[in-house]
Structure 1
Amino acid sequence: MPSAPIGGPAPAGRFDRRLLAPMMVGSILNPINTAIIAVALTPIGLALGAPARETVWLVSSLYLATAIGQPLVGRLVDIFGVRSLFLLGAVLVTAAGAIGLFAPENRDSIWWLVAARVILGLGTCAGYPAAMHMIRAEGDRTGLASPAGILTLLSVTTQTIAVIAPALGGVLVGAWGWRATFAVNVPLGLATLLLGALFLPRRTGLEPEVEDRPRIDGIGILLFAVTMLTLLVFLQNIAPALIWLLVVALAAGVVFVWWERRIPDPFIDVRVLSGNRPLLLSYVRSLLTATISYTFVYGFTQWLEDGRGLSPTIAGLVLLPVFAAGIAVALAFGRRPEVVGKLLVGSAAQLVAGILVLFMTGSSPIWFLVLAMLVLGIPQGLNNLAIQNSLYFQAEPARIASSAGLLRTFFYLGAIVSSVIYGNVYGARATTEGLHVLGWVVVGIAAMFLLITVFDRSLARIGREDPPAKD
């Protein structure tokens, strides 16, 4: 039986609302730190005398740590429960904030900050897998077939943070300097630590008994880390001289699959995963969604300033409808557990948004640009929500946290793929011709998303039947 958090036993028949605070605070740590650093890169570079090729590692290091760490921490959550991993993550976030706050200010200090971002990335890895584990555990405890309202709240919370984080970063840098973007993690980490200690149970009922715990697959973890690290670094720095990284990634990936298929307690059970086609398609949708979303947010923003000639402030305002529409549609349709309609509408909206880009010119009126962003906001809200709901039903209950972590890995892989796309399309300047190429790329990816959704018959059952029983 799961042990109750402070304040007495959990209420029967309904989700324990005391869990919401640690779940939501833990889940925002990653998106807030993903976005808040953007406004601090230039001030950090000026203060430390670090060129852009070095400050970019403040972004890449968090991506890399998170892409590798999410499924790892998720697997540990599946085995040991949420509380200990959640609290450890909060300690790491606090420590990373302190390192950034007190790092020396000299030419080599950029690598202190990169180290802080790696620690920060690992610390934030616990939040989302722990939240999905708790939601599934509460679903089993209460008998709720689909806690769609809680999943919607989780999705809307992370989307809202993604909207306000850049503005928050600007306020912090303006008031206290670039160190404030690191220092903010000290109170956030301490708040996460306190909420987790007060409200998270020591056991949820999903984790195995102590005597039944599987062995930690250290070799599998190492092979996965080598595969992801070399692949992601290659994708971020594609060049003939670095082709050896791709070779290492492919070789390590092959050995990883071979190893995971032969041991009884694998880090990622590729035997089950390869037989779970619906879950694999959800991972692919996450990658495609992130590729389109980040291509628009970063690639389109560059064109607004270079090709359309807007100021950074106006360009930022043009993007706001994406996030506003995303939050609005998630709130409007999130409580319905069915996903197939959300994915079909979301994929169609992606396709329309890509087509609208093809008609943009250097003199396009602002209302037309805002219209395109409103259309893009529809999949921003519906796709992420539907993919999250799909994973809840498709993943094995005993591996819900590691499956959620792997979902984030695919999402970050999509973000890195998008940077490769718009970086190679634009070159030195974000021209209108380059934007049209991006539009065709978005149309192609959206069409692929639509096709795999239309022909995925398993989606029709999600939200209309009980999730698979716990082993």
Structure 2
Amino acid sequence: MGSLLNPLNTTMISTALVSIGHDFGVGAADTAWLISVLYLASAVAQPVLGKLADSLGPRRVFLGGLLVVLASGLVGTLAPSFVWLLVSRLLLGVGTSAAYPAAMSVLRDEGRRVGRTPPRPVLARLSFAGLGSAAVGPTLGGVLVGFFGWRAIFAVNLPVAVAAFVLALFFVPKDATGAARAQARAADPAAGAQSSVWRSVDPLGIGLFTTALTLLAFFLLDLGHPIWWLLAPFAAVSLVLARWQLRARQPFIDLRTLARNGALTRTYLRHGISYLLIYCVMYGFTQWLEDGRGFTAATTGLVMLPMSLTALVCSLLGARTKGIRGPLALAAVLLLGGASLLVFVGSGTPLILLLVAGACFGIPQGLIGTSNQAAVQSYSPPGSIGSAAGLQRTAQYIGAIAASSLIALAYGRQAGDSGLHLMAAVSACLGVLLIVVTLTDRALRGGARTST
């Protein structure tokens, strides 16, 4: 339940953006910040909370995150202005970022206890919670907005967070003592020696990374009128960040490890490109269905239902495959096909073709999520699975920020046919790139190796 909160909220808001914009008098370029602010917070918080889960214990981190989710739900439900919605989404990004890396840490600890690596079907259940919620987000959001108004998509987090908190108190294993966790880290050469939790988190690295990512997001979100001078401080902060990460004993992002572990680095790259394409449809296509095609929020949610259902089914089917390369290659081809189809979509396109286009993006969601999750579990150092899983989500959210930028550039204040076609054409080019990156990755040819 905790793991579904972040992906659910990343996609559920897609069918509420038009209604929120109308109520507060802001355009598509402004409402795109409701997407980006959550991704900015999540991109930073996922690896940070992953490190804390490795250091403090996943149960503590998970329960603390749920309390922040409760606060965000209250702020969003009662928000009197657009600024308060941004605050709510910021808190939501931080709070929901605890669950996925904490869950991966729990699975790692359980694997140590029973003496085996978590099998793919077990990972699939975690993936199913995340992918399933992301897939049904547009449909659920459309129903909630259509019947209860857009505030319902913030309020729905309250009962889910409360239920997850209560269940976690009873069923999530208690964290190991500090001495036991330190002994486990000492036995893992890849984990290194962490003298303190504060030092392991690398606050300076976090601050530099946050600053660089925020500067980049501000530049990307107004590509129609680029603020070119932002590139200078972005480059300077990125350079300082890289130098510090190479010098720090416990860096926020271990650049040396990523340079040595090419298979893991390519997994992050592949994951980011994939979700750039997926989120273009999650937000760009749904906005066009309302603004360009004239559907209501509830109808838009129903049109996106085939994408939701195929993503759910394929997340389970992907977990039953032994290899990684085949499912990822198929997903890349379908993303290219779906983007190419959207190039020819217009206000007079038959409904059946719109449903097919959605399904073309639903199948890859299931295959990509389970396959890349298995790759991270396989290629990351066992003692750092929490932070490695967090960086996987960081790559996903950087792709989402780029998707928000592309949507803002293509649409401006209203989603029309020409904007949809521009977004789809760029997505098709990225689909070709994704196919190349997937097929040329030699590490995928042997499938996932077993972590020890």
TM-score (norm 2): 0.86
Contact 2:108-2:117 within 8 A present in 1 as well: no
Segments of structure 1 that go 5 or more residues without pairing to the other structure are 1-24
| Alignment partner of 2:46 out of 53, 57, 70 | 70
Q: Residue 294 in 1 paired to residue 279 in 2?
A: yes
Q: Residue 147 in 1 paired to residue 119 in 2?
A: yes
- CA–CA separation in structure 2 for the residues paired with 1:111 and 1:362: 33
Q: Residue 51 in 1 paired to residue 12 in 2?
A: no
Contact 2:142-2:300 within 8 A present in 1 as well: no
- CA–CA separation in structure 2 for the residues paired with 1:425 and 1:174: 26
Give the structure 2 partner of residue 213 of structure 1.
194
Change in CA separation of 1:122 and 1:311 when aligned onto 2, cut-off 3 Å: closer
1:154-197, CA deviations, whole angstroms, 9 ceiling, x for partnerless residues? 22222322344445445555666554433333332222222222
- CA–CA separation in structure 2 for the residues paired with 1:82 and 1:350: 35
Shift of 1:261: 0.9
Change in CA separation of 1:402 and 1:346 when aligned onto 2, cut-off 3 Å: same
Give the structure 2 partner of residue 22 of structure 1.
none
Q: Residue 352 in 1 paired to residue 326 in 2?
A: no
Contact 1:68-1:229 within 8 A present in 2 as well: no
Give the structure 1 partner of residue 190 of structure 2.
none
Give the structure 1 partner of residue 9 of structure 2.
33
- CA–CA separation in structure 2 for the residues paired with 1:150 and 1:182: 30
1:278-334, CA deviations, whole angstroms, 9 ceiling, x for partnerless residues? 111111111111111122233333444555565655544332222211222222231
Shift of 1:341: 1.1
Change in CA separation of 1:170 and 1:310 when aligned onto 2, cut-off 3 Å: closer
Change in CA separation of 1:312 and 1:334 when aligned onto 2, cut-off 3 Å: same
SS in 1 for 2:349: coil
Contact 1:323-1:380 within 8 A present in 2 as well: no
Q: Residue 466 in 1 paired to residue 450 in 2?
A: yes
Contact 1:207-1:398 within 8 A present in 2 as well: no
- CA–CA separation in structure 2 for the residues paired with 1:300 and 1:174: 18
- CA–CA separation in structure 1 for the residues paired with 2:373 and 2:404: 24
Contact 1:54-1:110 within 8 A present in 2 as well: no
Give the structure 2 partner of residue 4 of structure 1.
none
Give the structure 2 partner of residue 17 of structure 1.
none
- Report which structure shows greater RCO (CA 8 Å, sep ≥6): 2
Contact 1:92-1:123 within 8 A present in 2 as well: yes
1:350-371, CA deviations, whole angstroms, 9 ceiling, x for partnerless residues? 2222333344455433333333
CA RMSD of aligned residues (A): 3.0
Give the structure 1 partner of residue 189 of structure 2.
none
SS in 2 for 1:92: helix
Change in CA separation of 1:365 and 1:271 when aligned onto 2, cut-off 3 Å: same
Give the structure 1 partner of residue 95 of structure 2.
123
Contact 1:96-1:119 within 8 A present in 2 as well: yes
| Alignment partner of 1:80 out of 33, 47, 56 | 56
Letter in 1 for 2:7: P
1:103-139, CA deviations, whole angstroms, 9 ceiling, x for partnerless residues? 5x4xxx4433432322222111100111112222333
Alignment coverage as a number of residue pairs: 438
Segments of structure 2 that go 5 or more residues without pairing to the other structure are 187-192
- CA–CA separation in structure 1 for the residues paired with 2:253 and 2:356: 42
Shift of 1:448: 1.1
SS in 2 for 1:208: helix
- CA–CA separation in structure 2 for the residues paired with 1:118 and 1:426: 24
Shift of 1:90: 1.3
Letter in 2 for 1:346: A
- CA–CA separation in structure 2 for the residues paired with 1:305 and 1:92: 32
TM-score (norm 1): 0.83
- CA–CA separation in structure 1 for the residues paired with 2:141 and 2:220: 28
Give the structure 2 partner of residue 455 of structure 1.
440
Contact 2:38-2:89 within 8 A present in 1 as well: yes
Contact 2:136-2:309 within 8 A present in 1 as well: no
Give 1:272-421 correspondences, 5 Å limit.
Answer: 272-305=257-290, 313-421=298-406
Contact 1:355-1:443 within 8 A present in 2 as well: yes
Contact 2:142-2:302 within 8 A present in 1 as well: no
- CA–CA separation in structure 2 for the residues paired with 1:423 and 1:447: 23
| Alignment partner of 1:133 out of 105, 108, 112 | 105
Letter in 2 for 1:448: L
- CA–CA separation in structure 2 for the residues paired with 1:177 and 1:423: 24
Letter in 2 for 1:411: Q
Larger Rg, first or second structure (1 or 2) = 1
Shift of 1:149: 0.7
| Alignment partner of 1:156 out of 128, 141, 146 | 128
Letter in 1 for 2:50: G
- CA–CA separation in structure 2 for the residues paired with 1:353 and 1:119: 33
Give the structure 2 partner of residue 194 of structure 1.
166
- CA–CA separation in structure 1 for the residues paired with 2:247 and 2:138: 46
Identity score, percent: 38
Change in CA separation of 1:168 and 1:277 when aligned onto 2, cut-off 3 Å: same
Give the structure 2 partner of residue 267 of structure 1.
252
